[in-house]
Structure 1
Amino acid sequence: MSFLSRVSAHRHAQPLTDEQLQRLAPSIFAEAKHESRSDRYTYIPTIEVVRGLRSEGFFPVMARQGNSRIPGKAEYTKHLIRFRHMDHGPMYENLGDLYPEVALLNSHDGTSAYKIIAAMMRLACENGMVVQDARLAEISVPHKGTVTDKVIEGSYTVLDESRKALEIAGEWSGKTLTERQQKGFAEAVHIAKYGDDAERMPFTPESYLRTRRAADQGADLWRVANRVQESAIRGGMTGFRWDEDGRNRKRVTARPVKSIDGDIKLNKAVWHLAQMLSDHAA
C-alpha cells in the first residue's frame, strides 16, 4: 500500500473532536471533490460520514493523512481514521488489552473509494494492527449513492470481523514457534517491507525479534507477530553494509513506515504470514 509522504497521527483514550481531526487530517474536511473527478462522483465530505458513524456509537481515536506531490491535491489526499464502538470494550487482558477497531480509508482525489477495514489496538504498546485474511471482510464503498448509510452498515459488519480477529489473536497466544519458525517469519516480513531491496538491507531476523517490553517476551505466535510487526512499522533497527566501492562500512538504520498505503500493506502481510504459520505451530 504506496506513496511516500509525511503523515500525522495521534491516538487518544477519549474520542477525537472535530477540531482535533482538523489538525490531524485536514482533508477529512475537504469542501469539494478534486477537479479531476467526473459528475458521476458523489461528493460527500468524510466528516459527514464521521458524524454519521458517531451517531451510531463509533468514535474516532486516530486520524492521519498523506501528502501529495501533485500541486493542488494536498487538501483532497488520502486519509485514514480509526474508530472504536462504545459498546465494545477491551478483550484478552493477558495479551495487552485488545480493542476491536474499524479503519476507514478515503480520499477526494480519486485515489481511494471509502474502504472499511478490520483492525485492532493493543494498549500494552499502543500498537495498532490492520488485519485481513480470507475469513475477514474488507468493504469498499464507491463514491456513488447513499455513501454514509453504506459506510455505517459496512462498519458494523467489519466490527464483527475485528472481534473475530481478536479471537484469532487469542488462539495464536497458545501456539509456540520454534526458533527456526521465528526467524523465517521475520525474514518473510523483511522481504514484504523491502521487496527487491531486501538483500541489500543489513537487518537480521534477530533485530526484528528483539523484545522492546517485558509483556512481549515469549515464543508464542501472538507475541512474536507483535514484535516483528512493531519493528517493521516503527523501524529503528541498525546494521552495517559496505558502500558501492566496497571500501567503507556504512551504518544503516531502518526507517519507519510513514505512508498510509505502506502501513496497511505491511500490516496485512504480517497478519497473512502469521495466519499461514499458525497452521504449522505447536
Structure 2
Amino acid sequence: MRHQYKTLGGYGDSLHRPLEIDELRGFAPSIFAENPHDRTSSRYSFLPTSSILTGMADQGWVPVAAQEQLVRDESRAGFQKHMLRFAHRDDLQSPGAERPEIVIVNSHDRSSAYQLHAGIFRFMCLNGLVVCDETFKRISITHLNFDPSKVIEASVEIADGIPAIMDGLQEMKALTLTDGEREAFAESAAILRYGSLESAPVRPFKLLEPKRYEDSGKDAWRTFNTVQENCVRGGQKDYAKRKADGKGMPKSRAVTGIDGNVALNKALWHLAGRMAELKQG
C-alpha cells in the first residue's frame, strides 16, 4: 500500500519554546496511543511514545516538532508511524543560526521500531535535516521487552556525538567549493532524489538556485543547504526540461514522507561530507 503523509504539523508557532501537550496531540495523535494496534502480537511490548517525554525533559530535551503518517486503512489511525524532534532547553534560550536536535521515529502498529537520529535545525530556512548514520550511531530499539529508559539512554548516547556533528558543520562553512564541485554535488543530489538525471524534473543547476540572498555563497554549507532545501521542498519548474514525448516536466515535488525525508537527508549529508573530505584531502 502506498502511504500518504501529513504535510501540516511540524514546528509550532514559536521556534524558541517547547510544544505543549495539546499541540503535540494536534500534530500527531498517535504519540499518545493508549494501546497497540490489533495487528501486534502478544510479544509486543507497548509503551506510548508519550511515555518518554518526562525522561527526555529530565535530560534537558523538550519536543519542538511532531508529525505523523496519514494512512488509508482507518483501523491504523492513531497507531501509525510518527516523528518527534527534541531540542535542548539551552538552545531554545540562546538560539543560534542552527541548533542540534534529537529525532525519534516510532509507531504503535508494528510498522517501525523506536529509531533515534541526530538532526540539525536551520533557522534561516526553517528546515530540519537528519544527519547521516556515519556521523554517529543510529539507534534502533525493538518493541520486545521494551523499557522507556532504553530510549533515554540512547538519547544520551546520541547527544554525546552532537559536538562532533556541529564541528563538522563549522568545517563545511569554512570550505569554499569551485563551480565544478558545486555542479558535481548538484548532479549527485539529483540522482539521489530522482534516480537519474534524465528522470529528474529539473536540471541539476536548478538545485543550486538559492531561495534567499543569505544562501548565495559557494561554501560547502550553503551549497548543501540550498540543494537539500530544493530537493526536499520541491516546487521548482524547469521550462527547458522535457519528457521523452516532448511534454514539459511538472514542478518538482516535495518529499513529505517520514521515511523518504529521513533517507534523503542522510544521503545528502553523507554526500556533502564525502565532498568535504575529498576537498580537504
How much has 1:144 moved relative to structure 2?
2.7
| Counterpart position of 1:212 | 211
Return the offset for 1:245.
4.2
Q: Is the 8 A contact 1:8 1:65 kept in 2?
A: no
**Matching of residues 98-177 of structure 1 within 5 Å:** 98-177=98-177
| Alpha-carbon distance change, 92 to 185 in structure 1, aligned in 2, over 3 angstroms | farther
- Report if the CA contact (8 A) 2:206-2:238 is conserved: no
List gaps (5 residues or longer) in structure 2. none
Residues 1-282 of structure 1: pairs in structure 2 closer than 5 A: 3-11=3-11, 12-88=15-91, 93=96, 97-195=97-195, 198-240=197-239, 241-242=241-242, 245-246=245-246, 249-281=247-279
CA contact (8 A) 2:28 2:66 kept: yes
**Separation in 2, partners of 1:234, 1:7:** 11
| Preserved CA contact (<8 Å) 2:201 2:251 | no
Identity %: 35
Amino acid at match of 2:202: F
The normalised TM-score by structure 2 is: 0.91
| Structure 2 counterpart of 1:255, one-letter code | R
Deviation at 1:3, TM superposition (A): 4.1
In the aligned structure 2, how far is the partner of 1:169 from the partner of 1:211? 19
- Deviation per residue, 1:12-51 (Å, 9 max, x gap): 3210011000000011111111111111110001111123
CA distance in 2, matches of 1:162, 1:231: 25
Counterparts in 2 of 1:88 and 1:245: CA distance versus 1, 3 Å: closer
Contact 2:209–2:226 at 8 Å: present in 1 too?
Answer: yes
Structure with the bigger RCO (C-alpha within 8 Å, sep 6+) is 1
Evaluate the alpha carbon distance shift between residue 210 and residue 55 of structure 1 in structure 2; reply closer, same or farther with a 3 A threshold: same
- Which letter does structure 2 place at the counterpart of 1:206? F
Q: Would the aligned equivalents of 1:7 and 1:260 in 2 still touch at CA under 8 Å?
A: no
Query: C-alpha separation between the residues in 2 aligned to 1:90 and 1:278?
Result: 32
Change (3 A) 1:23 1:165: same
Q: Contact 1:90 / 1:100 at 8 angstroms: preserved in 2?
A: no
Q: Which amino acid aligns with 1:164?
A: A
Seen in structure 2, the aligned counterparts of structure 1 residues 242 and 177 have a Cα distance that, compared at 3 Å, is closer
The total of aligned residue pairs comes to: 275
- Could you report, residue by residue, the CA deviation over 1:152-194 in whole angstroms, capped at 9, with x for unpaired residues? 1111111222332111010111111111111111111111111
Q: Please give the per-residue CA displacement for 1:190-240, whole angstroms capped at 9, x wherever unaligned.
A: 1111125x4123311221101212221211111100000001011111124
AA partner of residue 252 (structure 1): P
Q: Distance in 2 between matches of 1:72 and 1:133?
A: 33
Deviation at 1:74, TM superposition (A): 2.2
